[in-house]
Structure 1
Amino acid sequence: MSRIRPLPDHLVNQIAAGEVVERPASALKELLENSLDAGATTLSVDLAEGGSKLIRVTDDGAGIARDELSLALSRHATSKIASLEDLHRVRTLGFRGEGLASIASVSQLLLSSREAGSSQAWRVEADNGSIHEAEPASLSAGTSVEVRDLYFNVPARRKFLKTPATEYAHCEDAFKRIALSRPDLALTLTHNGKVQWRLKAETASERMRAVLGNEFADTMLTIEAQAASLRLTGFAGSPTVSRASRDAQFVFVNGRFVRDKVVLHAVREAYRDVLHLDRQPLYVLFIELDPEAVDVNVHPTKTEVRFRESQAIHRFLFHALNKALAETRAGAAVSAEAPAQPDGGPSNVAYAPTFQQMRMPLGVQESAAGNFYGTLFAGVREAEWAAPLEAPASSALQPQAPPLAGYPARPLPSSDDDLPPLGFALAQLHGVYVLAQARDGLIVVDMHAAHERVVYEKLKTALDTDRLPTQPLLIPLAFPADRLDVATVEEHAEALGLLGFEMAVMGPTQLAVRSIPMLLRDADPVELARSVLADIREVGASRVLTEKRDALLASMACHGAVRANRSLTLPEMNALLREMEATERSGQCNHGRPTWFRLSMNELDKLFMRGQ
């Protein structure tokens, strides 16, 4: 066995480079973070062949003194920490002092800088590990780091680089992360001589639009929450704007982009009730906390962190996002620059602009509502806003129609500002969609999906408050059941009672339903009972009432929601619209599908080429 000996510094740097500089994007990340730590306000990035041929980062930061240029390329040389206590309270993005040294060991690096207040810029060159003497340079301010021929002296690593297009895509991702985290910076990215990105210093919402697109910016929710020293800000995408991949999920902890399982799980759980199947949400979140409460020194690339109180972080993130997503009511328009509420809390959602009144046709009488309106949409009182249409050419509000049974008359709105966000129903299309007229166009509602969400949220609220009213059946309904279902009723009668069901064993293979939840009174009692028994039998009563509770209630709501091809009267349609406006998360059904969409007058005009 050979004798133990210390490794040369150059080899140590190359070994470190294998961890820190995985690809050109890794080197770019280190250089950009150094520029931010130097207080730069303007950054320019030049790439060639995806960064494998050239990476140049130029900033207007504080600069480096002449006698410190060579030291900056030395291993573990840094101005950012001086003691173990500093390492426990890291506030800068870079701090190890190994980034530049590692990059220099596997490339041809030129470092030029002009210290603030200095009349002369200087540069040093590192080639294959050797650092040359400082020379005068031409630079107006800040620092420029030029990295050429990455891995030119480590061919075994170079052959693992992908195509220039792939490497550029990774570099662009690193650039976008910096752009999203610091909207106050002016940034430029050039690849092979062509400008790919040019971003001016702007507001946070403007930067979101520039980087993530109009669809995200137009629907994103503004997030702002605080608990003690823990603060969450940023933007969460609407559940209807989702992707198949996670390429638009950005989390920053004290300004540092991270991938953390605790954070990802909390966000996913917050979206679970409104996101469709395997779709991924879009979000840009900023977590700020005491630097001593998070360890950023757990991975060489510094993209992983360890929280001291990970469960507290999880709960805080989940509740903050869940509260914001709960405000995605149908008809609401998101305000990206929402002002704070008088009590200091964030305002995440603002109602859409005013709507023009739609009046009900002649012949809609008090009896038209029927039993359906009175049972499924109990408590809705806005339907009597609709009035008979007598003079289409007149813009004056017409006298209101006779009030519906059981609902007192309500005065018509005095202005457009008092009209409901989803407008008033016009008709039903193929027994599936409700068409409503709003001020700025046409609203289309999937009636089953919308009512499913309304019932689901009511069931959750009732179960949370232990006030799940039941509806006794006039005549108990007997149905054949297998022995496992009979055993489930015998063993879990108390759990069934909490869910609003009363069932009786009529024989070895026969059960009877005596009562069901009042909110589901129009559902098929037998089918509903079988569904609930199947869920309890599969996962157990305790899990059904805890971790699987929402899934069970969603299934129950699906049984209780109005079915397709069910003919609704106009009062019933308007009642559903009012319920949607008042229900949390009503923009999506229980499976994450959208429940409504708006077709504006401009879009309709384009379809008919009006004004063209």
Structure 2
Amino acid sequence: MSDIIQLLPDHVANQIAAGEVVQRPASVVKELLENAIDAGASVITLLLKDAGKTLIQVIDNGKGMSATDARLCFERHATSKIKDAEDLFNLSTKGFRGEALASIAAIAHVELKTRQDNEELGTAIKIEGSTVVSQDIVSTAKGTSIAVKNLFYNIPARRNFLKSDTVETRHIIDEFQRVALAHPNISFSLHHNGNEVYHLKNSNLRKRIVAIFGNRTNEKLVPIEEQTDIITIRGFIAKPEYAKKKRGEQFFFVNDRFIKSSYLNHAVNSAFEGLLEQGAHPTYFIYFEVPPNSIDINIHPTKTEVKFDNEKALYAIIRATVKHSLGQYNVAPVLDFNRDATLDTPYEFKDKSSMSSPTITVDPTFNPFKTEPTESQHTYEKKSTASTSTSFSTPSKSSYKHDYKKDAGSWESLYSNIEPIEDTSVSQGQLFESTQETETGKTFQIQKKYILSSIKSGVVLIHQTLAHQRVLYEEYLENITVKEANSQQLLFPINISFSSTDIEMIYGMKSDLESTGFVFNEFTKDSITIGGIPIAISESQITLILEQLLDDMKLEVPDTSFSHFDVMAKSFAKSLAIKTGTVLSEKEQETLVNNLFSCKEPSVSPLGKATFKTLTLQEIDTIFSK
């Protein structure tokens, strides 16, 4: 029998390795940016075309490479970061595996230009599918420029698995933000299809966060800082009132490397316990500095998951640090058992040496019941002793005499004009009689969450929030796609700050939002000015609606115009639907029920959940027959 095991050709092995390293254009961006940082660059520029599918170019002013290094860096297992296996557990650099550039060159057209500071001329290399096409001596700027073109050109099946440009751009921006947040001392810029998306100057950490996520972020941030023998913690957390429904702005960095850790995330969430609404997630930017030999960052190909030596101790330290910061900056309530604020001396009396007690005057001869007594009163006065002295100040004698004489003679006259109140307490033989309803169509609200309506065949139980979502969804979808919505002009236009990427997303949806009733006066790099809003919403809801829409668009970025409208209508419906805990009048309940069953698909919410459940009389009888 012939042998069946054979060695793979180098170009096939490189393509297989590329599958681990390069999952999408964002993977290339991450590798190239990290190489530029390791090269000591202080200014890094990222250029993109067609979400990185056509071009990804990173230009830096780092130390550059020699002609030999420029050629060798595209070989597999070639790296300047490690020399033996022990170095893997003492890393202070980012790209170290030695397969990134080789993998990228195997599936794209790569052009490299590089020059060292002490050289007059540099090196230019062109590679196509692991094959070196040319190598020349050129005049170029100090540092390195590497352009990756036509990604996956020789693996069409892999290219077909890429998502839309909007989705891939979102992934690239996520990687760019992570690298930029880890290195605020480096200037970064990002250009997509000729448009500048980010221009980040070197600054401190707080300014870098604000530059990426918008000016409104500044007021949200609360600093945290702690230093122990095993870890140094610094960074910022957002105040509880700015928590979001979705996990978005949550960043952990270990030794300037972005990581993901559900364990450490749980530590932060536990520190916010009791301060967040159910389902809300805190925003944080937390940086750890630990000895390099106390972590293992090579447990995952993307290097975003790490293994700590003493995770339990880190959990306790992080939780305590965040809790301390929340209390220190008066974000969380603090109990002080040594002081009662209600006993504090008012400021106007603080410097006065003595206080005079208020005087109380009492007329010992005053008797409010001195009048023509009835027989019962006469009997009572005989039994009673002399009038009891009191320390309370009382009204004048004349006022009491006048009020009493109006109705004197009979206590029953005090109640003569009051109608008797029906006894609504449950008595034997009258169980549920007062609320019994026999006609169909009657509605009842249960626990401020459900609406119970009687029908001929039994009862229907409706979830008020999900039902209202369905009604609003179909209404907004019709407004967006079929008819023009009405708009209410604002007396004073509202200016709202967003990050530059969010501004770009809103601008891309501008015409669709205007069809729902929004009127935009101005778009700037970090804010928008709104002059009109749909009639169905209020000014206080504008920011909530747009933030919810942005979150939904990031998670469900559409590939077609219809689905674009669909996501927008769903987002509006979720934001504006009545919430659990809202009390509805009987008229409002009936209106909601009628509107629900006038919908095209009344049985499910926009997100596919059931809006109501019908119980027939037979099903109800079955419950009580067991």
Q: Please name the residue that 2:215 is paired with.
A: 214
* 1:147–1:272 CA distance, 2 compared to 1 (3 A): same
Q: Please name the residue that 1:103 is paired with.
A: 104
Q: Please name the residue that 2:172 is paired with.
A: 171
Q: Per-residue deviation at 1:174?
A: 1.0
Aligned pairs (5 A) from 1:162-201: 162-201=163-202
Q: Is the 8 A contact 1:43 1:59 kept in 2?
A: yes
Q: Is the 8 A contact 1:38 1:62 kept in 2?
A: yes
Q: Per-residue deviation at 1:272?
A: 2.2
Q: Per-residue deviation at 1:219?
A: 2.7
Q: Per-residue deviation at 1:247?
A: 1.7
SS across alignment from 1:136? strand
Q: Is the 8 A contact 2:255 2:290 kept in 1?
A: yes
Q: Please name the residue that 2:39 is paired with.
A: 38
Structure 2 distance, partners of 1:282, 1:79, is 37
* 1:276–1:101 CA distance, 2 compared to 1 (3 A): same
Q: Please name the residue that 1:380 is paired with.
A: 341
* 1:386–1:202 CA distance, 2 compared to 1 (3 A): same
Q: Please name the residue that 1:240 is paired with.
A: 241
SS across alignment from 1:55? strand
* 1:203–1:132 CA distance, 2 compared to 1 (3 A): same
Q: Is the 8 A contact 2:127 2:134 kept in 1?
A: no
Structure 2 distance, partners of 1:44, 1:275, is 39
Structure 2 distance, partners of 1:403, 1:218, is 47
Structure 1 distance, partners of 2:54, 2:357, is 75
Q: Is the 8 A contact 2:239 2:331 kept in 1?
A: no
Q: Is the 8 A contact 1:384 1:400 kept in 2?
A: no
Q: Is the 8 A contact 1:384 1:401 kept in 2?
A: no
Structure 1 distance, partners of 2:356, 2:257, is 59
Structure 1 distance, partners of 2:230, 2:246, is 33
Structure 2 distance, partners of 1:18, 1:258, is 21
Structure 1 distance, partners of 2:62, 2:339, is 63
Deviation track 1:350-384 (CA, whole Å, cap 9, x = no partner) reads xxxxxxxxxxxxxxxxxxxxxxxxxx997225654
Residue 91 of structure 2 is aligned to residue 130 of structure 1: no
Q: Is the 8 A contact 1:236 1:285 kept in 2?
A: yes
Letter in 2 for 1:157: R
Letter in 1 for 2:263: V
Q: TM-score, normalised by structure 2?
A: 0.54
Q: TM-score, normalised by structure 1?
A: 0.55
Q: Per-residue deviation at 1:213?
A: 2.4
Q: Is the 8 A contact 2:225 2:235 kept in 1?
A: yes
* 1:139–1:247 CA distance, 2 compared to 1 (3 A): farther
Structure 1 distance, partners of 2:23, 2:62, is 26
Q: Is the 8 A contact 1:386 1:401 kept in 2?
A: no
Q: Per-residue deviation at 1:82?
A: 0.3
Aligned pairs (5 A) from 1:60-459: 60-329=61-330, 379-381=340-342, 384-385=345-346, 387=348
Q: Per-residue deviation at 1:203?
A: 1.7
Q: Please name the residue that 1:19 is paired with.
A: 20
Structure 1 distance, partners of 2:338, 2:263, is 40
Deviation track 1:272-292 (CA, whole Å, cap 9, x = no partner) reads 232221111111111111111
Structure 2 distance, partners of 1:313, 1:48, is 42
Q: Is the 8 A contact 2:253 2:287 kept in 1?
A: yes
Deviation track 1:419-448 (CA, whole Å, cap 9, x = no partner) reads xxxxxxxxxxxxxxxxxxxxxxxxxxxxxx
Q: Which of structure 1's runs of 4+ aligned residues deviate more than 3 A?
A: 381-384, 397-405
Percent of pairs with identical residues: 36
SS across alignment from 2:241? coil
Structure 2 distance, partners of 1:319, 1:398, is 41
SS across alignment from 1:110? strand
Letter in 2 for 1:44: T
Structure 2 distance, partners of 1:291, 1:331, is 34
SS across alignment from 1:152? coil
Q: Per-residue deviation at 1:230?
A: 1.2
Residue 2 of structure 2 is aligned to residue 8 of structure 1: no
Letter in 1 for 2:209: M
Q: Per-residue deviation at 1:216?
A: 2.6
Structure 2 distance, partners of 1:400, 1:58, is 74
Q: Per-residue deviation at 1:42?
A: 0.1
Structure 1 distance, partners of 2:137, 2:246, is 48
Q: Please name the residue that 2:58 is paired with.
A: 57
Q: Per-residue deviation at 1:133?
A: 4.0
Deviation track 1:66-111 (CA, whole Å, cap 9, x = no partner) reads 1111110111100000011111111101110111111111111111
Q: Is the 8 A contact 2:271 2:319 kept in 1?
A: yes
Structure 2 distance, partners of 1:7, 1:403, is 101
The number of aligned residues is 356
SS across alignment from 2:162? coil
Q: Which runs of 5+ in 2 are unaligned?
A: 359-538, 540-626
Letter in 2 for 1:85: E
* 1:378–1:181 CA distance, 2 compared to 1 (3 A): closer
Structure 1 distance, partners of 2:24, 2:246, is 22
Q: Per-residue deviation at 1:116?
A: 2.4
Q: Is the 8 A contact 1:384 1:404 kept in 2?
A: no
Structure 2 distance, partners of 1:115, 1:271, is 50
Identify the structure with bigger relative contact order (alpha carbons < 8 Å, sequence gap 6+).
1
Q: Per-residue deviation at 1:112?
A: 1.1
Letter in 1 for 2:151: L
Structure 2 distance, partners of 1:84, 1:120, is 36
